[in-house]
Amino acid sequence: MYLDALASCAELTTEHAEEAARSATSLRTLLNWAADIARPGEGGPKVLMVIARLAHAEWFEGTPYVEIRGDNATTTLSVFADHGMGIRERVVPLARLRVGFDEFARAVRLAPQLIAPFESAQRGDAIFLTPPEASVESQRDGREAIAIDDRSLHEQERKTAPPPPPATDAPPATPEQSGVHTHPTVRRMVAVRPEALRRGTDDGD
């Protein structure tokens, strides 16, 4: 295979990039090779030449969308196909290169021709690569999504009134009548003297 003769990513050429971008299989092969051989300071970011060729690859379905993330020790490359409506499909397995993220960020910043025609946007510890037409389409869709109907715009604020207070001259509410007696009942009991009880008993004897 043509990659077997290369000692580092620094030896990658545009011809190698064209060959690797011919199919998903060849792209996967190159990324696996780069994951094994890439080392700091040995041209790891040149792998992005292959990624850039995906912008015009006939076999690629959808819009290429690439995420580059990493830290001081490693960098990961994720290649997706954007099919619109927020649907993205991973094209090849994530590739992890033993090269610091700063090395890739510096290469994208100082040598933008490395990723042409892709455009880059860096946010924190991530770089996103998209074709120019994808950026324009995304901006256009975004404007349409947040467009406000002219009928909802008014020069003056809408005036609202609080609810009216309850009427004060209305008769007080009476409890609903029912068949249940609700008033307390007072029973009067007759007081009986103890002498009367004893006298009645004595008479019976």
What are the structure tokens assigned to 104, written together?
A: 């890739």
Quote the CA–CA distance of 189 and 140 in Å, as a whole number.
94
What are the structure tokens assigned to 24, written together?
A: 């998903």
Quote the CA–CA distance of 150 and 143 in Å, as a whole number.
15
pTM (2 d.p.): 0.64
Give the residue extent of every domain in the chain.
Answer: 2-144
Q: What is the pLDDT of residues 178-191, one digit of tens each?
A: 555 555 555 555 55
Element (H, E) at 135: helix 132-145
Q: What pLDDT shows up at residue 187?
A: 56
End-to-end CA distance of the chain: 137
Q: What is the pLDDT of residues 93-111, one digit of tens each?
A: 999 999 999 999 999 999 9
